[in-house]
Structure 1
Amino acid sequence: MPDTALADSPAPDATAAAAKGRGLLGGRIPLARLRDLALVPAILIILVVGYIVSPVFLQPDNLLNVLQTMSEIALLVLAQTMILIVKKMDLSLESTMGLAPGVAAWLVVPAGAGHGLGLLPGGWAIPVTLAVGALIGVVNAVLIIRFGLNGFIVTLGMLIVLRGALTGISGGQTFFRLPPSMLYLGTTQWLGAPASIWICLALFAVAVVVLGWTSFGRSLYAIGGNVDAAKAAGIRTDRVLWIVIVTGSLLAALAGLLLSGRLASVASAQGNGYIFTVFAAAVIGGISLNGGKGSMVGAFTGILLLFMIQNVLTLAGIPAQWIGALNGLIILAALIVSRITGGKVQD
């Protein structure tokens, strides 16, 4: 759109981008739903292969274990998906997943018995975790939005800073003897399933509704499609970007809380390397790295497929070291399929 466009003028580029990315809206509902369910056949195939490899695969306990383990990284995928849709990127999510609960553990775990300082009562653990996550998001947003710095470089720098900070406050050791408040979400069961699974499903359901049926969701796709056109259409792009970046960091902090609760500890390396799995899930789930395209259903099926494959490989006795290579191959395969089916590579 020309730079002379008025704020109240139609913005066809923004409208087209929103309509293209909304997924479940407008006259393209059947095609959008088909794209959302593109990985379902692959998931069904993995279910059959998994049963052939080991009958244990389809046992409820194993499937619940897969879902619980997946739910923690799935929150990172949810966060990264929102950020990618607005054509940004946050590499620091994995370090936020470690530092946020790490700071909480550092402050609430008794001194001399778990490597903490014991400065706060255990009930403060969850608020501190979420506050640290929000603060990290605010810092990222200030640098990216207010100062106009490159998001990739900013979050790469934050990843290194946060990782170093966690190593520093923990002394390279693991926080343990966590208070009950930090253990609850990672250990309790609701209606016969781990609470983390229900939390993950609920948050993805909310995200599907927000992105598919609200003006805020349409704004995300419009910004990712063409930020200048979105501004011309009257969208407060900076405010939307602030919300997305801070929310992403909050979700990463919550993911860290779930992981810490399940493991009953916070390791100095918690979250390291998770970002590769996050991007693998996003790419195979149809999220465009160019912004303005993708859906939460696709992102969810992407991370589900990855964890099912990993579980099948584990049951088959394949060394865990090969799983990283598999994720890389899946990303490459997804790019090739995207090129063949859509005519564009999601680079």
Structure 2
Amino acid sequence: MPETALADTPAPKPTKPGAGRKGLFGGRIPIARLRDLALVPAIVVIAVVGQIVNPVFLQVDNLINVLQTMSEIALLVLAQTMILIVKKMDLSLESTMGLAPGVAALLVVPSGVGPGLGLLPGAWSIPITLAVGALIGVVNALLIIRFGLNGFIVTLGMLIVLRGVLTGISGGQTFFQLPESMLYLGTAQWFGIPASIWICLALFAVAIVALGWTSFGRSLYAIGGNVDAAKTAGIRTDRVLWIVIVTGSLLAALAGLMLSGRLASVASAQGNGYIFTVFAAAVIGGISLNGGKGTMFGAFSGILLLFMIQNVLTLAGVPAQWIGALNGLIILVALTISRITGGKVQE
């Protein structure tokens, strides 16, 4: 009888959070899924096109310039990727990138030099910047996790507040004559390569390993896939979310230090508008806005592709006022191509 056959059929075993994600090299969570690799041909094509447009494109100095200018916003992409994987988002990262070094500059830049107050020695600039970034992350996490407020609205409000605070403390001016400690990460070279590039690559490498081969990384995917199932599996979801959100703000503050060092200043509008590029790079790189999907390899590929395109447009002599529109169009095309060649980007 059909009923008997059904009764005798063994019940399927429950699937643990994060199970079934077999990597290209046998890991539980892949370093780079096939859909992440879909951007590699696009990167190669852009490199070829760039060399045809201007022979300068593939010269070492130009490639280093692309990587250095990319490194600051790449840290925002890294931060946003972690947050998106756990099915949250942080719109305030771009404002944290500006306010954190802005507060440090206010306190360490000598009095009488722009809006500086000169209250602390220059050596305090890095600890202050990171402390402000951590504080912003704590406030965001408190409102989102402890009080259960909507993350989009909380971080949108925080973006506006932080932007207003930076404008207020700077009086709309630019901080300059920064101490050597604030300039170091943006100007130093290690083995002939800017320090910011080494830092960016090292942090992405750590993130790839952490998400691919550690229980913490598996926890992120489990929470993003199904937070209730993650709790049932014994994952301390609130603690993981706290770590992710605060770490994201710390990375944004570090990115602000790198940008301020490279430009030798902190503008009152530092970081404004970066969040659009951050989300574009993450989504093009295969990160799902619905959580639980995507890799750091894909995110890095996404931001690299966008900056290569921007550099090619600049070398081609495209007027600056058109670059924004063309970037947006290229983002849509790249997203469509990655979706077709690599499978669904979001579900």
- TM value normalised by structure 2: 0.92
Q: Is the 8 A contact 2:284 2:338 kept in 1?
A: no
Pair 1:323–1:283, CA change in 2 (3 A): farther
- 1:339 positional shift: 5.2
Letter paired with 2:57? F
- 1:38 positional shift: 1.9
Number of residue pairs aligned between Structure 1 and Structure 2: 335
Letter paired with 1:301? S
Q: Which residue of 1 aligns with 2:310?
A: 310
- 1:275 positional shift: 0.4
Q: Is the 8 A contact 1:21 1:293 kept in 2?
A: no
- 1:37 positional shift: 2.1
Q: Which residue of 2 aligns with 1:288?
A: 288
- CA distance in 2 between partners of 1:250 and 1:24 (Å): 31
- CA distance in 1 between partners of 2:94 and 2:303 (Å): 15
Pair 1:119–1:335, CA change in 2 (3 A): same
Q: Which residue of 1 aligns with 2:21?
A: 20
Residue 164 of structure 2 is aligned to residue 164 of structure 1: yes
Pair 1:67–1:168, CA change in 2 (3 A): same
Query: SS in structure 2 opposite 1:141?
Result: helix
Q: Is the 8 A contact 1:93 1:252 kept in 2?
A: yes
- CA distance in 2 between partners of 1:64 and 1:259 (Å): 15
Residue 37 of structure 2 is aligned to residue 37 of structure 1: yes
- CA distance in 2 between partners of 1:346 and 1:292 (Å): 10
Partner deviation per Cα, 1:34-53 (whole Å, 9 max, x = no partner): 33322111111111100100
User: Which stretch has the larger CA shift, 335-344 or 189-198?
Assistant: 335-344
Pair 1:28–1:208, CA change in 2 (3 A): closer
Pair 1:14–1:270, CA change in 2 (3 A): same
Partner deviation per Cα, 1:291-326 (whole Å, 9 max, x = no partner): 100110110011000000000000001122333323
Partner deviation per Cα, 1:227-281 (whole Å, 9 max, x = no partner): 1111111100000000000000000000000000000000000000000110111
Pair 1:174–1:36, CA change in 2 (3 A): same
Letter paired with 1:288? S
Residue 322 of structure 2 is aligned to residue 322 of structure 1: yes
Query: SS in structure 2 opposite 1:36?
Result: coil
Query: SS in structure 1 opposite 2:34?
Result: helix
Matches of residues 17-166 of structure 1 in structure 2 within 5 Å? Answer: 19-20=20-21, 26=27, 32-166=32-166
User: Percent identity at matched positions?
Assistant: 85
- CA distance in 2 between partners of 1:29 and 1:172 (Å): 46
Pair 1:208–1:336, CA change in 2 (3 A): same
Q: Is the 8 A contact 1:104 1:129 kept in 2?
A: yes
- CA distance in 2 between partners of 1:280 and 1:330 (Å): 11
Letter paired with 1:87? K
- CA distance in 1 between partners of 2:249 and 2:293 (Å): 21
Query: SS in structure 2 opposite 1:56?
Result: coil
- TM value normalised by structure 1: 0.92
Query: SS in structure 2 opposite 1:148?
Result: coil
Partner deviation per Cα, 1:137-159 (whole Å, 9 max, x = no partner): 00000000000000000000000
Pair 1:341–1:37, CA change in 2 (3 A): closer
Structure 1 unaligned runs (5+)?
Answer: 1-9
- 1:345 positional shift: 6.0
Pair 1:22–1:167, CA change in 2 (3 A): farther
User: Which stretch has the larger CA shift, 35-44 or 195-204?
Assistant: 35-44
RMSD (CA atoms): 2.0
- CA distance in 1 between partners of 2:14 and 2:102 (Å): 45
Q: Which residue of 1 aligns with 2:215?
A: 215
Query: SS in structure 2 opposite 1:14?
Result: coil
- 1:113 positional shift: 1.5
User: Which stretch has the larger CA shift, 315-324 or 98-107?
Assistant: 315-324
Return the index of the structure with the highest Cα Rg: 2
- CA distance in 2 between partners of 1:203 and 1:99 (Å): 22
Letter paired with 2:43? I
Query: SS in structure 1 opposite 2:21?
Result: helix
Pair 1:25–1:110, CA change in 2 (3 A): farther
Letter paired with 1:81? T
Letter paired with 2:163? R
